[in-house]
């Protein structure tokens, strides 16, 4: 009788880490909007294209 088993390479699984950070200690970069009143054209571009530049902190 012939052994027809195959061996597979081990799978590497990326590790995720969740950190709880006090929001008052976060330093945001310059791409944060301070004016929350967004015009319809800007909102339409987000709907069509998505967020092109994410918030950086």
- For CA atoms 28, 29, 31, 37, the dihedral sign is positive
Calculate mean pLDDT across residues 34-43. 85
Residues 43-53 pLDDT 10s: 899 899 998 87
Query: Over the Cα atoms of the chain, what is R_g?
Result: 23
- Picking from 48, 25, 43, 24, the residue whose alpha carbon sits closest to that of residue 33 is 43
Tokens encoding 19: 């950190």
Residue 2: per-residue pLDDT = 65
Extents of the domains making up the chain? 20-57
pTM of the model: 0.38
Gap between the Cα atoms of 46 and 30, Å rounded: 19
Backbone angles phi, psi at 43, to 5 degrees: -65, -35
């Amino acid at each position: 009788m012939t052994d027809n088993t195959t061996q597979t390479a081990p799978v590497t699984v990326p590790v995720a880490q969740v950190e709880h950070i006090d929001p008052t200690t976060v330093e945001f970069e310059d791409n944060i909007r301070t004016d929350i009143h967004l015009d319809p054209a800007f909102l339409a571009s987000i709907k069509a294209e998505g967020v092109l530049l994410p918030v950086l902190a």
